[in-house]
């Protein structure tokens, strides 16, 4: 895999053009996700991602994000340890910066 970490701006530019088998993985808690998330993002809390590794492994690419970047890095490492090589971590940013940037947010 070429690029395992990308910045928020780069992710914003590609997030609406994801292909088949590509997902946005929001690893925040369910309450945080309900308050606002990126359209189409799948919510699996960071402490549950390793248990979902077999479900995620067949995907082409998984873009992992959280609130500020810390949990995304933890989830990235946990899934990498499970043998996944289809991961892209949105490092050093997350929903806080997404909202501050004025990017669109979906609420449930």
Rounded to whole angstroms, the Cα distance separating 24 from 38 reads: 8
Rounded to whole angstroms, the Cα distance separating 25 from 72 reads: 9
Token pair of 33, please?
């996700």
CA atoms within 13 A on the CB side of 81: 9
> Which residues form the catalytic set?
66
Token pair of 63, please?
């873009």
- From the list 78, 88, 28, the residue with the least C-alpha distance to 53 is 78
Token pair of 35, please?
């308050």
């Amino acid at each position: 895999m070429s690029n395992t970490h990308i910045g928020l701006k780069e992710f914003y530019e590609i997030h609406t053009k994801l292909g088949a088998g590509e997902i946005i993985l929001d690893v925040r808690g369910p309450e945080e996700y309900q308050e606002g998330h990126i359209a189409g993002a799948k919510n699996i809390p960071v402490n549950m991602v390793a248990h979902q590794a077999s479900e995620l492994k067949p995907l082409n690419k998984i873009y992992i994000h959280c609130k500020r970047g810390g949990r995304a890095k933890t989830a990235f490492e946990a899934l990498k340890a499970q043998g996944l090589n289809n991961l892209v971590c949105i490092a050093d940013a997350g929903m806080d910066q997404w909202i501050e940037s004025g990017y669109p947010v979906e609420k449930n």
